[in-house]
Amino acid sequence: MESSTRTVKLVMLAMVVATAAHAFEPWPLFSRHSNSAEPAPVMNETSLDHVGIFVRDLDAATRFFSEALGFQVHPGNTFPDGARSAGIFFESGYLELLSVTRETAVGASALRRAEFLAAHEGAVFFALRTPSITQAANDLRQRNVTTHESSEPNALYRILNLDETQLPVEAFFIEYPPRTRTPEQVQLASALKNQPNSACRLASVWVALSNIDDAVRRFQELGFQSGRQFTIKALHARGVEISLGKASVLLLEAHGAGPTAEFLEQRGPAIMGVTIEIRDMKQLRSVLDRNGIAGVPARARPWGRSVLIPALQAHGIWIAFTTRPSRAQSSEPVR
């Protein structure tokens, strides 16, 4: 886990996303891998826990996500490696804003993050929540997947790291052992999840890559199942969904020139964006309008009715706000 630092001018958003209807466009994919792999037992209980977003100026990013987008941003930690963090919490999942500089970095990993920030901002990793790190490690070992555990001294969580060649982007498993909380702590945790823009769930993380067939195979090697194929015309992308309980990973491949191709040219295979489920689109639009953000409604089958925020305006990460229920709960085809 790692974190963020300082102050910069708030950038107002200009929504420049196409809003045309997104017709279904079948395309050949996964002829070898499709949906046949048997899921590992513990993977059936795995969910999307959080996404780590690295920003150059933590204070400025905190103001942007709170003042412009209407999130409640909670101050986080300063880690031993020199990183700082802040959190945006939902009823399910959260976003972690992180920053570190070459001057504050302690160790190779933190220095690598600082070097990333010299060239980019954006999401770097995502965490998969599991009920049992021990069981996950056993299941993965039986699948010949190399892992190693790294737990924090305070034992608030356990982390199971994958071999860095296992997935096209950085991801790890996390377990939160049961612990006793006071009524005040429970009340505070609940209050932190009450988002002014009505956001309630981290619904999906998007991974842009050039070889989507290989990425599906790698997720299947971990015991996950691939879902339906879809196209997203606003992003000039096509892809497939990897199910994570009520959330998902959307694997995206560029479909002609456009945002996805541009993202891949700049960063290569990486986390491109997230989908945030909201309860009330009018409430979100009210927040955006009040803060001078000219949002334009978009429609895309993986999300439904949504507002799409470009990465250029949101510290390197695309954000889709949607009122659609989770894919796992919907029988509607992904398009």
Q: Which residue has the tokens 């412009």?
A: 68
What pLDDT, on a 0 to 100 scale, did the predictor assign at position 208? Answer: 97
- Residue 268 pLDDT > 90, yes or no? yes
Percent of residues, the chain, with pLDDT higher than 90: 56
The CATH class that applies to domain 41-177+184-329 reads alpha beta
- Residue 163 pLDDT > 80, yes or no? yes
Q: What is the mean pLDDT of residues 154-165?
A: 86
Which residues partner with 79 through β-bridges?
A: none
Q: Which residue has the higher pLDDT, 322 or 327?
A: 322
What pLDDT, on a 0 to 100 scale, did the predictor assign at position 185? Answer: 84
Contact 267, 276 (CB under 8 A): no
What pLDDT, on a 0 to 100 scale, did the predictor assign at position 45? Answer: 84
- pLDDT tens, 228-259? 888 888 899 999 999 888 889 999 999 999 99
What pLDDT, on a 0 to 100 scale, did the predictor assign at position 210? Answer: 92
Confidence class for position 269, pLDDT limits 50, 70, 90: very high
What pLDDT, on a 0 to 100 scale, did the predictor assign at position 300? Answer: 60
Q: Under 8 Å CB-to-CB from 275, ≥6 apart: which residues?
A: 202, 203, 204, 205, 206, 250, 302, 303, 306, 319, 320, 322
Confidence class for position 181, pLDDT limits 50, 70, 90: confident
